[in-house]
């Protein structure tokens, strides 16, 4: 139930307040790892806005984001959150043990 609440909270907040920074909801290692994997570039120093970040997150769950697709739904956000957790744990381990890939 807590996970469902978080997914719906992210979905609703991204639609109602897209201009806030994603760091309000996500930890630094979470949003930076998603940014690095999806965009393929080094993450910016300042957290991106929530709406574009949720689109990136949902793309990990299969969201394509075409012109007429509408905003991402709970299923793509949920799958994206699962994958984000894996990326964040990997990034933390690489930093902790100073492993360079």
Strands (E), 7-77: none
Round the CA-based radius of gyration of the chain to a whole number and report it: 13
- In the predicted structure, residue 98 carries a pLDDT above the cut 90: no
Give the per-residue pLDDT at 101.
61
Q: What are the boundaries of each domain within the chain?
A: 2-96
Give the separation between CA 68 and CA 3, rounded to whole angstroms.
28
Q: With contact defined as beta carbons under 8 Å apart, do 99 and 93 qualify?
A: yes
Tell which CATH classification among 1.10.740.10, 1.10.3720.10, 1.10.10.60, 1.20.120.80 matches the domain 2-96: 1.10.740.10
Q: With contact defined as beta carbons under 8 Å apart, do 16 and 53 qualify?
A: no
Give the per-residue pLDDT at 54.
98
pTM score, whole prediction: 0.91
End-to-end Cα, the chain, rounded Å:
37
Instruction: Give the model confidence (pLDDT) of 36-50 as tens digits.
Output: 999 999 999 999 999
Give the per-residue pLDDT at 99.
82
Give the per-residue pLDDT at 33.
96
């Amino acid at each position: 139930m807590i996970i469902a609440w978080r997914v719906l909270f992210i979905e609703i907040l991204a639609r109602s307040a897209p201009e806030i920074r994603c760091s309000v909801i996500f930890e630094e290692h979470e949003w930076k790892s998603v940014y690095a994997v999806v965009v393929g570039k080094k993450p910016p120093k300042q957290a991106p806005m929530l709406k574009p970040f949720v689109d990136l997150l949902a793309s990990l769950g299969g969201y394509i984001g075409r012109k007429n697709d509408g905003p991402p739904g709970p299923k793509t956000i949920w799958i994206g959150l699962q994958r984000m957790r894996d990326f964040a744990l990997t990034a933390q381990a690489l930093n902790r043990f100073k492993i360079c890939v």
